[in-house]
Amino acid sequence: MSSLLVIPTLNEVDGMKQVIPLIKKEWVDEILIVDGGSTDGTVEEAKKLNLKVMQQKSKGSFGAAIYDGFESTDAEYLLMFGADGNNEPEEIPKILEKMKEGYDQVLISRFGKTSINEDAGIIDAFGNKMFTSITNIFFRGQLTDTLSSSRAFTKKAWDEIKFDAFGLDSVLQMSIRGLIKNQKIIEIVGNERARVGGERKMHRIPTATRLTARIIRELFWKG
């Protein structure tokens, strides 16, 4: 079965130079860069690596880039990966191995018992655990990291969640709707490494507000 790895970018030239070359092309059938309007040479660097680049069409941020990438393919396995250095490239074959075991969604948990987290401070870690706990209570889950951006879907599971969260609440919607649809979801304990260059896209108060609103909206989602 074919696989597509989507990497959203917005001014991530440092990650493109230091992180993306560590991804072995034999791991997936295709790597697609979806760029949201970089001005720092990210696209040029991607082309030097002979990677396919798509300009983001949908309005929004991370979630919009993922949507554009996933909707552009008929691949059976759809993977997402950040270019900022937070995600570890060696996670990719581990995720695919689990997908081939029959899971609908596979995600990397940055807050497992043995996880090493070099990016999230105390406040961010608390916020993640709080929103994860709320999600588990309202949507009957047992997840440890509902906000993980390192994850994969089968094409069927992706179509099933009818994704439409184009902002930084995108990954929360992925988790929630997967739970609502009783998808077979598994977490792999992983790490979150320190960012490599660029600017952090998440700002605490606006993000917390958006995540809260997302949970409320999903309570009324009819599927």
pTM, rounded to two decimals: 0.94
State yes or no: pLDDT of 188 exceeds 70.
Answer: yes
Residue 178 DSSP label: H
Structural domains of the chain, ranges and CATH numbers in brackets: 3-218 (3.90.550.10)
Asked whether 119 and 200 are in contact (CB, 8 A), the reply is no
Rounded Cα gap, residues 100 and 55, in angstroms? 30
Quick one: pLDDT at residue 205? Answer: 87
| Amino acid identity, position 126 | F
Rounded Cα gap, residues 43 and 85, in angstroms? 17
> 115-145, pLDDT tens digit by residue?
999 887 898 889 999 999 999 999 999 999 9
| Amino acid identity, position 164 | D
> 28-50, pLDDT tens digit by residue?
999 999 999 999 999 999 999 99
> 60-117, pLDDT tens digit by residue?
889 999 999 999 999 999 999 999 999 999 999 999 999 999 999 999 999 999 999 9
